[in-house]
Amino acid sequence: TVYYYRDRFIESGREVVPVEERAFNYGDGIYEVVRFEAGHGVGLTEHLERLRNSAEAIRLRLPHPLEKIREIVVEAASRVGAGAVDVYFQISRGEAPRSHAFPDAEPVLALFARPGKTYTDEFRRAGVGAITVPDERWANCWIKSLNLLPNVLAKQAAVEAGAYEAVFVRDGFVTEASASNVFGLHGDVFYTAPAEREILNGITRRFVIAAIRDLGYTLKEERMSAAFFEQEVEAAFVTSTTMDMMPLNSVNRRKLPPPPADSPLWAVLNRMRELSRSGVAV
């Protein structure tokens, strides 16, 4: 694992964070995770733009111009190697005596990079289980904030239920999952929640939407009711930088059979991969 803190690459990721660091005390900061494949940062430009938007949303000044952050991220990935690499990077409002209002402090970049987990086609065909949980998060889930306590609790509930992901339901509708976006498939029609304030507009989600449109399938960018998602979808999957598209094999106690070889889901998966590797903007 490669580590970076404040202004340099460091040997160890331990014992570097001041006790009064605002990321640590308040979760006062934002983050991104980027997957590199063969040296290419998948959607890196989009991740950096989202970082800038998140920073503006919480009135956080970035410690460096975006181009400099890009260079550090690329450097970190290349130090790990040329295979699948995940780079996690966060910006906090910095170190200052604890007091809620904004401090007079320098924002701090912290980063780690390590080999990314990949999944076999076989694993993906088998899929993973999901449960639904109440979405108890705040009103600005479009910001990629460090505050992930509700996500942590939701994921833990999934693990304890023998599932992999927890799908949030707000006011009777599916928003997204604890660390991914959610899609449903009914006939040849794909469904996913619109990119409004209650979800993070995933970069993988955007590549998937581009692939769906490219292949001529219908996308309904509208919220699925929990009843529709739990009982009626023929297939469902979650999307994220580290998983790309992962089919669900169950939602609560309902089993979802593996999508057949000619399912639009697999066509979209393949097209999404091509698009994300091509560097097309989404």
Active site amino acids: 144
DSSP letters, 175-214, are EEESSSEEEEEETTEEEE--SSTTS---HHHHHHHHHHHH
| In the complex, least distance from residue 157 CB atom to ligand PLP, rounded to whole angstroms | 15
Q: Give whichever of 109 and 179 is closer to ligand PLP, judged by the CB atom.
A: 179
Rounded Cα distance, 238 and 185, in Å: 12
Per rule CB under 6 A, is residue 205 in the interface with ligand PLP? yes
Per rule CB under 6 A, is residue 276 in the interface with ligand PLP? no
**At 109, which helix (H) or strand (E)?**
strand 108-115
Quick note: the x/- pattern for ligand PLP over 128-157, rule CB under 6 A, is ------------------------------
Q: Give whichever of 179 and 268 is closer to ligand PLP, judged by the CB atom.
A: 179
Contacts of ligand PLP in 235-264 (CB under 6 A): 239-241
For residue 9, with 0-12 CB atoms within 10 Å meaning exposed, 13-18 middle and 19 or more buried, which class applies?
middle
Q: Which residue is nearest to ligand PLP (CB)?
A: 202
For residue 233, with 0-12 CB atoms within 10 Å meaning exposed, 13-18 middle and 19 or more buried, which class applies?
buried
Rounded Cα distance, 269 and 275, in Å: 10
Per rule CB under 6 A, is residue 204 in the interface with ligand PLP? yes
Q: Give whichever of 90 and 239 is closer to ligand PLP, judged by the CB atom.
A: 239
Q: Give whichever of 93 and 206 is closer to ligand PLP, judged by the CB atom.
A: 206
Token pair for residue 158? 């999934």
Q: Which residues bind ligand PLP (CB under 6 A)?
A: 33, 176, 179-181, 200, 202-205, 239-241
